[in-house]
Structure 1
């Protein structure tokens, strides 16, 4: 019984740390000392260590020798690769749902979209998390547990990428795109559903600065200065 309780506590610590990373409260590169995390959550360092190991296996945390655990900082190349994998996985999820959406699947997806609409313009971090959870829910509804596991990991790693590379984030258009994807799946229009998903994920990737040239003060001011010339 004690072992079960320990596992449940580890799950709770893992979930809280995961949510803090996905909502971009814990930023890439932040150090996560076991004693400090344990003190804040009221748990032992052992439980924290187990939670951090899980996060490390999912690519959200990295351990540095003699320095401890840190929120991961994906490289530009890793970011590109993760988005490529996400596109492959989620287009397959979309195809599967056209073929075999569970009876209650549309109700679950539409209820989630209503939750997304409820946070529009109010809480950016929660909107980002809910947007990712929509894609995870789609994968779970596919009935393929292995596929759902990988989609979950990739979607969560994308939140880190957006924290590092995104120029801006607007969940408003994303919610509308989610509704369009649901409608295409309901109509059993595979081509349209896949096309919408690819466009949707492309728009997410476009918000990340993947050309390898980070913004400088000069380049930012130049963008705004162009408005004066118009």
Structure 2
């Protein structure tokens, strides 16, 4: 039977892999079925994630993954900038073992970029920052960065980041190269530039601060087909048997995400 810690870890991993979108509902009963545990344990896991700022709860609607506002997005990136640059600044020597571990992580990133598993790629790119904190000997900051990285992953999904994964990996490579050379000032500068680039890649919707942008886009008039364009008939309504099957499968939909 899964523990509350197991469940919260899996949800964080799924968020960092971009498998769970901002605003997604996390049903207690569905999670309990998926992890084969009681709803009490699920509720404990979700309460922990709420305290860490990853999920939120509504008395009548249930548990949901957060949907960060523009201001919360700015604060999250600023917090990451302070922690990660400060972590490098306070480092005096980076051990060979740490460099070896970071290079192993970079190798995994590069392999994921060549593969087709987008979730794994997203997770590894975010987890680099957690790995860096661990390699520099601060597990407390590693935990903090795990939550902040999950938040910024949700922000990137919500505001449709255009940041390229290969570019992010190259940034990581240059940071590790600077650490290996012992040039901590350059590593700090590269980290600042990297986080700034990721933040700058957020869509103009985030930059404009227009609270109606998403609704305005959603309710804009649909494009009319040209007179020569054939009309495709609408699909028939699902049969009761198909609908029942869909309802039956919906109870385990989180399995594909977690």
Do these two structures clear the TM 0.5 threshold for a shared fold by scoring above it?
yes
Q: 2:119 is matched with which residue?
A: 125
Aligned to 1:109: 102
Aligned to 1:178: 172
The residue number in structure 2 matching 1:224 is none
Asked whether the equivalents of residues 102 and 135 of structure 2 are also in contact (C-alpha less than 8 Å), the reply is no
More displaced stretch, 137-146 vs 208-217 = 208-217
Match of 1:72 in 2: 66
Q: What is the Cα deviation at residue 158 of structure 1? A: 0.9
Deviation per residue, 1:190-225 (Å, 9 max, x gap): 22111111111111111213312447488xxxxxxx
How big is the shift at 1:17?
A: 1.6
- Aligned partner of 1:61 in structure 2 is 55
* Partner-residue secondary structure (3-state), 2:26: coil
Please say which structure displays the higher CA radius of gyration.
2
Shift of 1:18: 1.6
- Name the CA distance, whole Å, in 2 between partners of 1:105 and 1:96: 16
Aligned counterparts of 1:9 and 1:201: Cα–Cα separation in 2: 34
RMSD of equivalent CA atoms: 2.0
Mapped to 2, the partners of 1:207 and 1:125 lie a distance apart of 19
Q: Given the superposition, is the C-alpha separation of residues 149 and 201 from structure 1 closer, same or farther in structure 2, using an over 3 Å criterion? A: same
Task: Please give the alpha-carbon distance, in whole angstroms, between the structure 2 residues aligned to 1:11 and 1:82.
Answer: 23
Tell me the matched-pair count. 212
C-alpha distance in 1, partners of 2:161/2:99? Answer: 33
Task: State the distance in 2 between where 1:65 and 1:182 align.
Answer: 46
Structure with higher helix content: 1
Distance 2:25 2:57 in 1: 10
Match in the other structure for 1:143? 137
**C-alpha distance in 1, partners of 2:88/2:35?**
38
CA distance in 2, matches of 1:164, 1:57: 21
- Which segments of 5 or more consecutive residues in structure 1 lack a partner in the other structure? 1-5, 219-230
- Contact 1:93–1:139 (8 Å) recurs in 2: yes
Unaligned runs of 5+ in 2: 221-258
Deviations 1:133-171 (A, max 9, x none): 110011112222332232222112111111111333421
SS of alignment partner, residue 62 of structure 1: strand
